[in-house]
């Protein structure tokens, strides 16, 4: 049986002590009270709801922490990269062991940092790019698609995908889903979303000239307030440029 006892301290704070006692009164067992005085079922459910929310937030925090530990980092990504970059070897990003080529090695350049962010993809890469002729960046996308099983989708410009040196044809031949702008204007975006949680965006086209010659910038962030609008924009462009909705001759051209 339970009996509720109210005790007042010298600081005038009231605490309710839950004391479990087994006893009999006048030969009859006293019916226990299920809740202390002043409590109601409504208040109880409200407290339970608060507890559930707190537990959910705690689980989300633990999940984020585990992702950070898995990726080898302890805080959300937030980085700005400026170009042009110096020429360095990137073979160590793909192959185990040291490289014997004559190019400088290391992860300190903006371009190497960019490649590492892209290679962090585990499930998906959504790419919206105006001009794509960089063989190094193409190598990264093909690595994700062929070797790591990452789902890759690409939206590009219908005119610039046809220029000399474009890597769009190589992506299509590898089986990557590619759609191009079907309207009369350019698809001028330059952004990528990794695993639907990491945004890479800026002025940088994926070309040799942009990487090693132009003055360019790239913002990398996991801030959901920025990532979410870009995800919505990508899905809007992906649906709007479905060739099944508006087939043209150029839709069937394989570069």
Please say if 188 is a catalytic residue.
Answer: yes
Burial label, 102 (beta-carbon count in 10 A; 0-12, 13-18, 19+) = exposed
Of 169, 183, 117, 119, the C-alpha closest to 145 is 119
User: Which of 117, 145, 158, 190 is the catalytic position?
Assistant: 190
Coil, helix or strand at residue 191: strand
Coil, helix or strand at residue 32: coil
- Omega before 26 cis (within 30°)? no
User: Which of 188, 236, 239, 242 is the catalytic position?
Assistant: 188
d(C-alpha 1, C-alpha 205), whole Å: 75
d(C-alpha 112, C-alpha 122), whole Å: 18
Please say if 195 is a catalytic residue.
Answer: yes
d(C-alpha 246, C-alpha 62), whole Å: 46
Please say if 190 is a catalytic residue.
Answer: yes
Phi, psi of 120 (to 5 degrees): -75, -5
Question: CA quadruple 146, 114, 63, 238: dihedral positive or negative?
Answer: negative
User: Which of 159, 195, 223, 251 is the catalytic position?
Assistant: 195
Question: What are the helix (H) ranges across 72-199?
Answer: 110-119, 135-142, 168-173
Residue 83: other Cβ atoms inside 10 A: 20
d(C-alpha 198, C-alpha 226), whole Å: 9
Q: Are 161 and 224 in contact (CB under 8 A)?
A: no
Q: So which residues are the catalytic ones?
A: 188, 190, 195
């Amino acid at each position: 049986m339970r009996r509720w006892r109210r005790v007042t301290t010298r600081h005038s704070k009231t605490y309710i002590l839950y004391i479990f006692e087994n006893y009999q009164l006048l030969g009859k067992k006293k019916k226990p009270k299920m809740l202390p005085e002043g409590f109601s079922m409504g208040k109880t459910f409200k407290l339970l709801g608060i507890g559930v929310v707190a537990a959910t937030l705690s689980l989300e925090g633990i999940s984020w922490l585990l992702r950070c530990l898995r990726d080898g980092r302890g805080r959300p990504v937030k980085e700005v990269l400026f170009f042009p970059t110096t020429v360095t070897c990137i073979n160590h990003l793909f192959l185990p062991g040291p490289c014997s080529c004559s190019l400088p090695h290391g992860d300190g350049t903006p371009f190497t940092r960019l490649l590492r962010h892209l290679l962090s993809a585990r499930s998906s890469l959504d790419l919206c790019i105006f001009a794509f002729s960089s063989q190094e960046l193409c190598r990264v996308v093909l690595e994700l698609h062929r070797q790591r099983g990452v789902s890759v989708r690409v939206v590009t410009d219908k005119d610039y995908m046809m220029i000399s040196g474009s890597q769009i044809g190589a992506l299509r031949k590898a089986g990557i889903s590619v759609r191009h702008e079907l309207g009369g204007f350019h698809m001028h975006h330059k952004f990528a979303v990794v695993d639907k949680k990491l945004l890479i965006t800026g002025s940088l086209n994926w070309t040799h000239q942009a990487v090693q010659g132009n003055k360019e910038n790239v913002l990398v962030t996991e801030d959901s307030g920025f990532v979410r609008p870009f995800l919505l924009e990508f899905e809007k462009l992906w649906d709007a440029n479905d060739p099944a909705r508006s087939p043209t001759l150029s839709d069937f051209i394989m570069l």
